[in-house]
Structure 1
Amino acid sequence: MYNLKVIIIGAGIGGLTTGIALRQAGYKVEIYDKAKELRPAGAGISLWSNGVKVLNRLGLGENIAQIGGQMDRMEYRSHTDELLNDIDLMPLVEKVGQRPYPVARTDLQDLLLEAFGREDVQLNSRCIAVEESDHHATAIFEGDRKVTGDIVIGADGIHSVVRRYVTEKEISLRYANYVNWNGLVKADKNFTSKNNWVIYVGEGKRASMMPVGGDRFYFFFGCPMVKGSTVEPEKRREELAKLFQGWATPVQKLIQNLDPLQTNRLEIHDIDPLDRLVRGKIVLLGDSAHATTPTLGQGGCQAMEDAEILSRYLLTTTLSVEDALKRYENARKERTANLVLKARKRTDTIYSKEGDRTQKWYDQLKQENPEDVIEALAKIILSGPLN
């Protein structure tokens, strides 16, 4: 199929990666976003090897290596600083054929914007509906503006408008029963070594630091909390100090050094696996299709895999646009559903939804063979399209 015009709703990781892939395939691509200014949600992202491989294929491998962190090890510690597990990640790199690159979200979005064409993303364009005719798909924006193409791609996130059309029903978000705080802080040996990802766990909570480019750590905290709690940004350091009182010295130093005004505080949600990702010439990808909790670090990577598979079927299937999109759906629905549910189960374990299971996990971490951890990570990565 040649000379397709593709309309993408959403200029996040999924929308931009898809836009780059489809432009490289020779299609006319337009990206629209409701924001007046693009500001990524969250401070960092653990970009595992399956996501990096998609960027490599798009010719962005050197760029991502420049902004990514050098993560050679992964370390679990108890909240009292007992070493539970120390994992060399180089066997994983050798097994899957690519290093992971944790990155600051702003750096990643800037990279993707430059690759697509920053000036070609049309901001302040709030999509309120989509519709189809026999030969075209149309996005409708506030102000009664309409844009018509051969395909509309909903990459408009967990609160997707396009999803309502595709599923023909309202999809409720599921609160994951915890709050996540995250941000960036200058790397300091008092936190951990600059090539190490450290995760502190205990009391049904966790605190973590991983290296990203620019000599920084991406940090996050997680704690079970009832839905609807709010804390003013200037009070977030005090909130974390209270919630993580008595935790290991590096965690205390992190709390002391973070900027509360630059620390995000997010109630974490996901959605149940969808019955369909495609309706006619309208297709979902990324969080609009399979929003997940971040406990597997696969949210952004799965959006990138979506981009790879969607562009592949549009290029190689000549029956019809609708046929190519259904093949995309068949290739993506089971993998993404499985990862959403796997992440959900892991979230419940980490954040003590069932206390006994959480304690068993702490005990297991002390005895777990690092090779088993590598094998589990490799299985997720190698189940992707670029294995």
Structure 2
Amino acid sequence: MDNLKVIIIGAGMGGLTTGIAMRQAGYEVEIYDRVSQLRPAGAGISLWSNGVKVLNRLGLSQEIAAIGGQMNRVTYCSQTGEKLTDFSLQPLIDCVGQRPYPVARTDLQNMLLNAFGAENVQLNSKCVAIEQDADSVTAIFEDGRKATGDVLVAADGTHSITRSYVLGHAVERRYVGYVNWNGLVPASDDLAPKDSWVIYVGEHKRASMMPVGGDRFYFFFDVPLPTGTVSSPGTYREELASFFKGWADPVQNLIQRLDPLKTNRVEIHDVDPLKTLVRDRVVLLGDAAHSTAPDLGQGGCQAIEDALVLATYLQTTNISVADALKRYETARCDRVADIITRARKRSNMTHGKDPEKTQQWYEELRHEDGTEILNAISKTILAGPLH
């Protein structure tokens, strides 16, 4: 399709990557976001090789390498600090042809904003309705403004307003069963080796540190809790000290070193896989299309994959916009449903939904040399659009 005008709702990772891909395809692009200031959700993200390959394809290989952490090894430890397994990521890199890059979300957002042009993103623009006819689609904003184009990309996140328009009904998010605290701390050897992703596991909980650019670790803590538990930054440190009482020294050091005011606390939710991602000229993308638990580290990567696949189908058909979007839907539905389902399953295993299974997993880690873990990750990566 030539000379399309693309309206994108949402300036997160998915929206911005789509904006870059669409502009490179020669389309006119406008991005709108409801917020008054762009602040990424969460402190860090593990960008696996399938997401990195798309960014490379979009001409951002040097930029992503500059902000990505050098993650060369993975180590699992018990809560007492006993090493369960420790292995190199090199076999994975050799297999899939690209190293992963864990990144701070702010760095990633800034990189994408610079590539797209921050001045081209219109803030304070909450999309409250959508209208379309045979030839165009229009976003209507809360203040009465309108934006009309040939395609509307709904990339407005897990709490998407536009999703109910596409589906014809609202969708409830589902609590996965655990609370996640996450943030950034300066990298230091008494926490973890600077080129390793280290995960402490026990009591159905996790404490994790992963290297990102700028000589920092992205950390998270997971604790299975009932939904609706009340907390505030003033008590994060005490709570974590109590949840991880008796755990190894690096975990205690991390709890003392984190900045509670810069730490996020999130109840982890997902959304059941959707059967449709498209309504005529409107298409769901990113978390609006497939909100997943972070247990496979694929949420952001799937949004980035969406962007490339959507741009490719629009570029490679001259039948109609609706036809291109349907092809995108066919290409993406099973892929993202698989990620949601497997992330949910992994979360259940990690967080003690069936305590026997979690115990069995701890035991398996003792005998794991990395092969099975790396094979599973490779499979997920190689099922993406760029093999």
Confirm or deny a common fold (TM above 0.5).
yes
- Partner Cα separation in structure 2 for residue 129 and residue 77 of structure 1: 50
Deviations 1:168-212 (A, max 9, x none): 111000001110000000000001110000000100100000000
Kindly state the Cα deviation for residue 145 of structure 1 after the two structures are TM-superposed: 1.7
Q: SS at 1:143's partner residue?
A: coil
**Equivalent residue letter for 1:327:** R
Secondary structure, counterpart of 1:87 in structure 2: strand
Question: 1:137 — aligned with what?
Answer: 137
Q: 1:78: which partner in 2? A: 78
Gap runs ≥5 in structure 1: none
How many residue pairs get aligned? The number is 387
Deviations 1:331-377 (A, max 9, x none): 00001000100000000111111111111111111112312221111
1:228 aligned counterpart, secondary structure:
coil
Q: CA deviation at 1:288?
A: 0.2
Give the secondary structure class of the aligned counterpart of 1:266: strand
SS at match of 1:211: strand
Letter in 2 for 1:168: G
C-alpha distance in 1, partners of 2:348/2:329? 28
Q: Tell whether 2:355 aligns with 1:346.
A: no
Partner of 1:52: 52
Alignment of 1:229-248 (within 5 A): 229-248=229-248
Q: Please list every run of 5 or more consecutive structure 2 residues that lacks an aligned counterpart in the other structure.
A: none
Opposite residue 356 of structure 1, the aligned amino acid is E
Q: Contact (CA 8 Å) 2:11, 2:31: kept in 1 or not?
A: yes
1:112-127 equivalences under 5 Å are 112-127=112-127
Which string of whole-angstrom CA distances, capped at 9 and with x for unpartnered residues, describes residues 104-143 of structure 1? 0000000000000000000010111212111111111102
Q: Which runs of 4+ in 1 moved over 4 A?
A: none
Give 1:235-314 correspondences, 5 Å limit: 235-314=235-314
CA distance in 1, matches of 2:17, 2:176: 27
For residues 36-67 of structure 1, the C-alpha deviation after alignment (integer angstroms, 9 at most, x for no partner) is 00001100000000000000000000000000
Q: Name the counterpart of 1:61.
A: 61
Separation in 2 of the partners of 1:66 and 1:144? Answer: 41
**Aligned twin of 1:3:** 3
Q: Which residue does the alignment assign to 1:223? A: 223
Letter in 2 for 1:227: T
Letter of the 2:261 partner, please give it.
L
Partner of 1:205: 205
Distance 1:358 1:139 in 2: 47
SS at match of 1:353: coil
Partner secondary structure for residue 289 of structure 2: helix
TM-score between the two structures when normalised by the length of structure 2:
0.99
- Partner of residue 365, structure 2: 365
For residue 250 of structure 1, what is the amino acid of its counterpart?
P
Would you say the 8 A contact 2:85–2:368 is kept in 1?
Answer: yes
Alpha-carbon distance between aligned partners in 1 of 2:74 and 2:212, rounded to the nearest angstrom: 14
Structure 1 residue identity aligned to 2:222:
G
Q: Which amino acid letter does the alignment assign opposite residue 348 of structure 1? A: N
CA deviation after TM superposition for structure 1 residue 385, in Å: 0.3
Give the corresponding residue for 2:355: 355
TM-score with structure 1 setting the length? 0.99
Q: Residue 232 of structure 1: CA displacement?
A: 1.5
Could you tell me how far 1:382 is from its partner in structure 2? 0.5
Query: Which residue in the other structure is 1:185 paired with?
Result: 185
Give, in whole Å, the separation in 2 of the partners of 1:355 and 1:128: 44
What amino acid maps onto 1:278 in structure 2?
V
Q: What secondary structure, in the 3-state scheme, does the structure 2 residue paired with 1:290 have?
A: coil
1:230 CA drift (Å): 2.1
Distance 2:265 2:210 in 1: 18
Output the amino acid matched with 1:345.
K
Deviation string 1:43-98 (CA, Å, 9 cap, x unpaired) is: 00000000000000000000000000000000111111111111210111011000
CA distance in 2, matches of 1:345, 1:136: 41
